[in-house]
Structure 1
């Protein structure tokens, strides 16, 4: 299984464990509340959304990764298209961070 599949699988696990939230407003709220440990934004997010999320993550010192497109993220969460995801669990965040860094180096 390649790194991308492992990332998507882990996102799916995080959803089932209720350790993931999606949607721009909810993610921003969780970043502000220091609940978001890691944020993933799709590569096809609008410029506005990208900037808003980047700024929030920088301000609150939350790790941010650009990964996949909205249908990849939607599929991984078992929903329609998703542009922004936040992981609210340290364990999942650490594991995903490692995989995302590996994927982005590849």
Structure 2
């Protein structure tokens, strides 16, 4: 299950539907282009709280099951703790896979 979501992250990156980095992710949440947000499970408390609060305020789903290393490897970007998906198709499928994995 985990691998499928991470594979989809890589595909979303290649499709140009992924925003990486804390500031750009928060910006995408604010302008509501983010359909789904990932924050690394090992992100700092400050970063994690900031992203969680924004997602909660704008009612955007958040996934925090993956480590910084897993997210970085899946997207080919180094040391990324926050990512957002700007495509409802990708986000729907990832949420579906996360639900099945519970």
Q: Look up the match of 1:71.
A: 69
Q: Deviations over 1:30-67 (max 9, x none)?
A: 00001000001111010001110010001101001112
C-alpha contact (below 8 Å) 1:75/1:81 kept by paired residues: no
Unmatched segments (≥5 aa) in structure 1: none
Alpha-carbon shift at residue 102 of structure 1 (Å): 2.6
Aligned residue pairs, count = 102
TM-score, scaled to structure 2: 0.96
Question: Aligned to 1:9, what secondary structure does the other structure show?
Answer: helix
Alpha-carbon shift at residue 68 of structure 1 (Å): 1.3
* Structure 2 residue 12 is the aligned partner of structure 1 residue 14: yes
Q: Look up the match of 2:80.
A: 82
